[in-house]
């Protein structure tokens, strides 16, 4: 598993957060607090607002009430510069090779070629590095999408169903990545229907959101 360097400390405080999408209240009264080395697993039925909460935290959706505060950031830093958001869409360019996809993300997010080569190995995609991404299976595409977490270290991971399309081995790989990230001082907030096999069980909090449909 990738050896993460120590990540800069961050702290998240969410207070009485609400969110409206398409004139529909999808979140209301959400409060939580997370510090470096801690993770939140978001649970709840479809329509409960798990994806909306992640998008609010990433700054992609406005909040209708309450507040989101990230502490210990450089005041001159753009809010998104220390966040990785991995959603349902793969964000993979099908005509590019597997390695070129990761190189694109590394260049965009300030990573290095050395990290690209390491990420290919960690993701189990080293043998497919020169293949066009369109030739990958659904599980391999998901691994490629998640591998961009490794090519440019950032302290905050927001993950929407990270194990989607993965087999049991892929589930374990995701859990190992999250464990390594937490041990390096990162924060993880993940929407998932699965019980991730995490070693850092004492630092994991489950937040169940109520159905809204």
Length of the chain in terms of residues written: 213
Q: In sequence order, which residues have a C-beta less than 8 Å from that of residue 69 and are 6 or more positions away?
A: 12, 13, 14, 15
Q: Where are the alpha helices (DSSP H) in 89-209?
A: 98-109, 113-122, 138-151, 168-183
Instruction: Round to whole Å and give the CA distance between 104 and 101.
Output: 5
Would the pLDDT of 213 be above 50?
Answer: no
Question: pTM of this prediction?
Answer: 0.93
92-142 per-position pLDDT tens digit: 999 999 999 999 999 999 888 899 999 999 999 999 999 999 999 999 999
Would the pLDDT of 49 be above 50?
Answer: yes
Collapsing DSSP to helix, strand or coil, 95 comes out as coil
Token pair recorded at residue 131 = 């293949």
For the chain, domains (ranges, CATH) are 11-208 (3.40.50.300)
Give the C-alpha distances (Å, rounded to integers) separating 66 from 12, 97, 205.
14, 43, 21
């Amino acid at each position: 598993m990738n050896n993460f360097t120590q990540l800069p400390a961050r702290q998240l405080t969410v207070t009485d957060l609400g969110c409206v999408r398409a004139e529909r209240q999808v979140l209301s009264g959400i409060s939580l607090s997370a510090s470096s080395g801690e993770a939140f697993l978001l649970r709840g039925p479809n329509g409960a607002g798990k994806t909306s909460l992640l998008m609010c935290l990433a700054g992609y959706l406005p909040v209708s009430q309450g507040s989101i505060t990230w502490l210990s950031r450089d005041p001159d830093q753009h809010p998104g510069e220390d966040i990785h958001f991995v959603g349902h869409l793969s964000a993979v360019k099908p005509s590019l090779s597997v390695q070129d996809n990761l190189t694109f993300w590394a260049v965009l997010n300030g990573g290095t070629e050395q990290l690209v080569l390491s990420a290919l190995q960690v993701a189990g995609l080293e043998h497919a590095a020169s293949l066009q991404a369109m030739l990958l299976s659904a599980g391999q595409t998901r691994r490629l999408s998640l591998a961009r977490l490794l090519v440019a270290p950032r302290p905050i991971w927001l993950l929407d169903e990270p194990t989607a399309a993965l087999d049991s081995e892929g589930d374990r790989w995701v859990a190992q990545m999250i464990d390594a990230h937490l041990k390096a001082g990162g924060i993880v907030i993940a929407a998932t229907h699965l019980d991730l096999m995490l070693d850092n069980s004492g630092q994991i909090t489950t937040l169940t959101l109520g159905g809204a449909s």
